[in-house]
Homo-oligomer: A and B are copies of this chain.
Amino acid sequence: MRYARVRHDGRSHWSRVEDDVVHLLSGSPIEGAPAVTGTVSLSTVELLPPVLPFVFYAVGLNYRAHLDHARAQGYAVGTTPTQAEVGYRANNALVGSGAAILVPPDLAGPVEAEGEVVAVVGRTLRRASRAQARESVFGWTIGNDVSARAWQHTDRTCWRSKNSDTFKPMGPWIETDVDPVAQTTTVRVNNEDRARFATGDMIFDPWDYLVEASRYVTFHPGDVLWMGAGATCPITPGAVVDIEITGIGTLSNPVLADSVAAPDGASD
């Protein structure tokens, strides 16, 4: 099944997507069994981020190819992770498939796309076994961990390098029937293939992270866990960036220069 959040007639709805048809739902399918309240064409709705998480988890370096690439560029990424440690992203940055990625006017240097498979947690999870972690995932979606490298390397935190508004496209929907580690991730810019990697070629898999993190934290229904990327691709204003993961779908976002100048931070 494919579940999406959509804007239709000015309101947001949970929905079930079937080919080109969207069945609007009375509530979230993550914790209940909502009723169908209407059916509309997919082309008439705006896709929203498929969930707004209570906690937005993300894994930093989880593919050897990405680590090797970063080292080749001279970045101090440290050693290959030896334990499954989660990090965080911020909800303000989420947009759905189709929405624009806005490049801030004062950003110097490249913006890069990172295509990631995303676990959507379906139930409360604490001190989970691997079997419980597997059962806890409601479904899978796609994330683009848009990154401004200059800020990533100069700032103390990833606040604006990875969490500027629109920097976290997620979607187009949640697919409940897919094996995420048996898929292929392809990143396309203006319909040209720029990167392709085995989605499952991870250092630690999603269930490793859920088991390890749940030793200390409680996962809640709707939490998301972005699994890291195997490659990065520069993107520039005017381009369209697509992340396709077989078995799930394609997350597609245009890139635009944000035309509004930021005010001087010292203004009063």
* A contact residues vs B (CB 8 Å cutoff): 52, 54-55, 60, 78, 81, 84-88, 90-93, 104, 126-127, 129-131, 155-157, 159-160, 163-165, 208, 211-213, 215-220, 260, 262-263, 265, 267-268
Contact = CB atoms under 8 A, between A and B. Distances in A.
DSSP majority for the A interface?
Answer: loop
A212 B60 CA distance: 25
Nearest to A79: B156
Contacts of A86: 157, 159
Contacts of A262: 127, 215-216
Nearest to A60: B156
Which 6 interchain pairs have the tightest Cβ spacing?
Answer: A164-B216, A215-B262, A160-B216, A87-B157, A130-B268, A55-B90
B55 A92 contact: yes
A55 B219 CA distance: 16
A49 B92 CA distance: 21
A156 B267 CA distance: 36
Contacts of A88: 88, 90, 157, 159
Nearest to A81: B156
Contacts of A129: 263, 267-268
Contacts of A159: 85-88, 213, 216-217
Given A85-B155, A211-B265, A262-B127, A165 B90 contact: no
Contacts of A212: 265
A265 B215 contact: yes
Contacts of A92: 54-55, 217-220
A10 to B, nearest CB: 18
Contacts of A81: 156
A60 B158 CA distance: 13
A163 B88 CA distance: 11
Contacts of A208: 265
